[in-house]
Every structure is written in structure tokens, then in C-alpha cells.
Amino acid sequence: MTSSVPSDVLGQRILCDTEYATVRYAGSVPPTTGLWLGVEWDNPQRGKHNGSHEGVQYFKCSHPTGGSFIRPNKGNFGVDFLTAVKNRYGLNVEQDVECEKENALVFGKKTVELVGFDSIIEQQRQVQLNKLVDISVRECAVSHAGQKEEISRTCPNIRSINLSKNLLPSWEKVTDIACQVQNLESLDLSENKIKFPSDSASITCTLSKLRVLALNRTGVTWAEVLLCAPGWPALEELYLASNDITVLERPINVLQPLKLLDLSNNQLIDGSQLQLIAYLPRLEQLILSNTGISSIHFPDVGFGCKTKMFPLLQRLAVDDNKILQWSFINELDKLQCLQSLHCQNNPLMGTEKNPETVRQLIIAKIGQLKFLNKSEIFPDERKGAELDYRKVFGNDWIMAGGNQNPDKNRPNEEFLAAHPRYQLLCLKYGAPEEGELKGQQPFILKNQLLTLTIKCPDKPDQKPIEKKLPDSMTIQKVKGLLYRLLKIPGSELKLSYESSKMEGKEIELENDLKPLQFYSIENGDSVLVRW
């Protein structure tokens, strides 16, 4: 704790016990005497009032109980950056003093100090500071840089700094530190309530090598990000979670190298806001978890085409949102490079009784997807999902004007809007026949026995065997049965199947955990066994 009050105390951040606050007032509070500090607590439950006392408003708070008056000696105004570094890494002066005491010679009753040993200690400490590359001073009450240019002289090799949850009050104080680190590549400022510049004239520092910047829970707005962004010309990753960002603006000549953008836990007004950041040319990962979005639209192209928006986006997270309509998923197929999607905890995920059904529908609707909710999509799962999708909506396709004859195949716009990939799946697997579509109930386990022909194409001496199997039987259990039936190890088997309705096409049964019905196997089909 310190009782000294900075001359520019208003707006300063302080730590009182374990609670953080911002100084909003410094002066007397009659009828008491002496200096008081009026503070607004980060945790409003720690406060008592809104900045008023006995009818007099001394300062304003954003919460009716967010304010208190404290004596200056109750608040910790923090330390400079290098003091925090030395304390964190055991390089402080107190340790040096102890070291000096240990390095003295005693002759009888006389203690003889080793001359010049203090300079050796200083040299050793400087060597240790020179070696620091990745520094974390999280929760070390850092409030300012310290003496001018001292950081650059003392720690010239720093590449990464974690300054999260400290007492940095403004962007100016941040740059006083960061601009002394010439090779700074990563900076974490999360959980600092920072006052950002209001005009470009206040920005005088360029962090030319900065690639990663975290501003989570700092209170920054998107407009302030764009204002400061010219100072980050090489930035590749920007984390802006939990900042109450509601409105976006299009970045013009800034943030162009950005590859990752995290906007999670910001309640965006609507999905159309995303169009304003859709032309970041190198963006590969976008995190929109818990942003309140329910829709997304890429108006530059129609069904079955690829949008020019988000041209390199590969990974998208939209967990914990309000997504209810399948049109959201349909739009994602327009993205040129999307490979990974996280979409858990959305109302859409509960529209089917079986969660596996939703997964298969998403896989079928987004053709290039390779990972869904952190789970890899293997080729056999995609085949099964697309084949089932083709059957599930086959009758709707026919009713909408679909036809096996290409000259007559003209499904209406309503069907194409609901199923943009359906025509492509028909080209890939063949159009469904009317007999194939009768009584289809995909994704539902049925207690139905399938009459299948077991064939061994690589073993001509092995005669075909007809067998009745439940369609709920997993591939793993089928292999176990064949192990006993054909006297070969099940683990070495490779299974596939042929259907009379899809002549010339052989579909692999690669996923041991899936049932036969997952692959849409029907009566009369042939299971091909190889080993």
C-alpha cells in the first residue's frame, strides 16, 4: 500500500485488498477532514452509493451502488513495469542485499566486505534480464512504464508480454511500455479497464512487429479498435471478447493482415453486421460465440454459388447463439474455404430428437466441411450423410419439380432455397428413383431385418452367402459375425456395399460405430468383404 497520491490521480486505477477500482474524485468530503478518494469499483457489490454523500454528488457511477470513499492509504496505485518484472522473476533489490551479506569474509570479529561484489551482482542481474523473452506480470499491479527508455536498455530481447489484470489506466500508459520493446510480437492487456484514444492525434507509437493482441474485457469499442489499428500494421490475431461491442464498421486500410478475430461475448445488433468485416482479405478464423446472432446472409451470390465475402475463412465458431433456422447453415455453404464449424448450444441443435440427425444434416448441407464441433468428419460419414439426405428429401424434390430426366428437372426456387446442395448430390450419387423413396424414415433406428448377400470379390472360391441382419447392427458387430462366419480376423476386414439402384458404385463401410441403416443399406443389397 502507498499513501502517496499521484498528481494525475483522477482516472487512475487502484487496488484495494483484492478489489479493483477507478479514481473518480479526490478532495474533501464535509463534515469530515482530510483527503478522500471517490472510487468506482469494478464490482459494484463492493460499493455503497452512486458517488453522492449527504445530498452532494461528488462523482458519477455507472451503477447505483458502485461508488465508495476511501482514504488514500487504503489504495495501491501500483508499480512500474520493471519493478513488477524483478519481483515476479526474483530479481529484486532485497534479494541482492541478502546475497551481499552472504558474500562477506569474517576475520576474527571483523567483517570484510568483498570490494566490487555489488557490481558483480548487478551484472548478473542484468544478464538474467537480458535473457527474458516471454514475460508474464499478470496481476502484478503494473500501472506505468517507469523511467524513460529503461525497459529497452534492461530487457532488449522481450518478444511476448502478459500484462493482463493490472492497473493500466490508459492506452498512453500501455504504449509507454510497449514502444520500448522493439521486437514485441505478442501483448495481452485483458482485464485492464483502459481509456482508449478519442482521436488519431493521440496515437504516436507504432508496434511494427506486433502479431498477437488480446483486449478481452478492456471496455474497448470497435471504433476505438479501428482508431488504434494503424499502430498495429502486422497484426494477425486480435482478441476482443466481452467488451459489449454492438456495432461494427468496415476496416479501411487497417487490420488487413488479420488472420484471427475473436468477437465472442459481444452482443452484436444482428448478423448483417458481419458484412462490414467480410472483406478482411486474410481472415482465416472468426469466433462469434455468444454474440446473439440468429441469421447470416451473403447477398452477393445466389444458391449453390460461392461468395466473395470472407474469402479465406476456414474456421468459424457460432456456439451459444440464437440460430434456429436451417437457412443459416445453408448460407455457410457459400463460403469458399470453410472447413471447421462450432455451433453447439443453439436452438437449431434441438430441432431433431436425435442430435446425430442434426449433425448429419449439417454435414450434408456444407460440402467442404471437415470438422464439426471439434469432431472430424471422415469420408464414410460424409457419404452416409449425403446419401441419407438425398433420400430424406427426395419426395419433396419430386413434388417441387425435380425429375430424373435432366431435361425435365426443374425444382422450384423454394426447394432450392431450402436445399441448395440437393441438385449437386443428385449429380454425385444419381437422382433418387420413386421406388427408392417410398416409406423413407432416415436417421431413425428401425427394428427391420435386411436380407443381404455376403460376397468376397477377391476370393472367387468363396461362394456368396445370404444373411438376414437387423439394420440397427453396427459395422463392428457385422465384422464380428463375419469373423465367425468366414473364419478370418474381424480387425482385418474391409467392408463396402453395392446397391442394385446404384449400379457400378461401391460405398465403403468405414465407421465401425455406425449401424447399417446409417449407410441406407436396403433389402437385396450386397456386402463386399475383403481382407
Ranking 55-69, 113-127, 431-445 by mean pLDDT, the lowest is 113-127
The predicted-structure confidence for 171-184, as pLDDT tens digits, reads as follows 999 999 999 999 99
Give 109's pLDDT tier (boundaries 50, 70, 90). Answer: low
pLDDT tens digits, residue range 284-310?
Answer: 999 999 999 999 999 999 988 999 999
Containing H/E element for 330? helix 326-332
Going by pLDDT thresholds of 50, 70 and 90, the confidence category of residue 100 is very low
Which DSSP letter does residue 231 get?
G
Q: For residue 253, give the amino acid letter.
A: N
- Average of per-residue pLDDT across 310-326: 97
Q: Is the pLDDT of residue 99 over 50?
A: no
Dump pLDDT digits (tens) for 460-498: 888 899 988 888 888 877 887 887 788 775 457 889 999
Share of the chain above pLDDT 90, in %: 67
**For residue range 235-258, what is the model confidence (pLDDT) as tens digits?**
999 999 999 899 999 999 999 999
CA 97 distance to own-chain centroid: 47
Give the model's pLDDT for residue 445: 37
User: How far is residue 317 CA from its own chain's centroid?
Assistant: 6
Extended beta strands in 413-457, E state: 449-455
Q: Which range among 88-92, 134-138, 452-456 shows the weakest confidence by mean pLDDT?
A: 88-92
Q: CA 292 to CA 269: how far, in whole Å?
A: 8
Joined together, the cell numbers standing for residue 403 give 425429375
- Specify which of 46-55, 457-466, 502-511 reaches the highest per-range mean pLDDT: 46-55
Q: Which residue has the higher pLDDT, 495 or 271?
A: 495
Q: Any idea which of 118-127, 174-183, 345-354 has the lowest mean pLDDT?
A: 118-127
- Please give the helix or strand (H or E) that residue 161 lies within, else none: strand 160-162
| Mean pLDDT within 313-324 | 97
The identity of residue 46, as a single letter, is R
Instruction: Compute the average pLDDT of residues 336-353.
Output: 93
Type and span of the H or E element at 154: helix 150-154
- Residues facing residue 271 across a β-bridge: none
The CA distance from 187 to 47, in Å, is: 32
**pLDDT, position 2:** 43
Q: Is the pLDDT of residue 43 over 80?
A: yes
Say which residue the cell 449439417 belongs to. 362
User: Does the pLDDT value for residue 112 go beyond 70?
Assistant: no
Alpha helices per DSSP H over 419-496:
422-429, 434-437, 475-486
User: Which pLDDT belongs to residue 117?
Assistant: 44
For every residue of 7-52, DSSP letters joined together read TT-TT-EEEETTEEEEEEEEE--TTS-S-EEEEEESSGGG--BSSE
Task: Check whether 441 has a pLDDT greater than 80.
Answer: no
Residue 428 pLDDT: 93
Of 353 and 412, the one with more pLDDT: 412
Model pLDDT, residue 202: 77
Report yes or no: 525 and 498 within 8 Å, Cβ to Cβ: yes
In terms of DSSP bridges, do strands 186-188 and 110-113 run parallel, antiparallel, or are they unpaired? unpaired
pLDDT beyond 50 at 447 = no
Residue 197, phi then psi, degrees to nearest 5: -60, 150
Threshold 0.85, pTM exceeds: no
Which range among 161-165, 332-336, 506-510 shows the weakest confidence by mean pLDDT? 506-510
387-439 confidence digits (pLDDT tens): 989 988 999 999 999 998 989 999 999 999 999 999 999 999 998 876 666 65
Q: From 358, 362, 273, 271, select the one nearest 321 (Cα to Cα).
A: 271
pLDDT band at 118 (very low <50, low <70, confident <90, very high): low
Mean pLDDT, the chain, whole residue set:
88
pLDDT reading at 31 higher than 60: yes
Say what the pLDDT of residue 169 is. 96
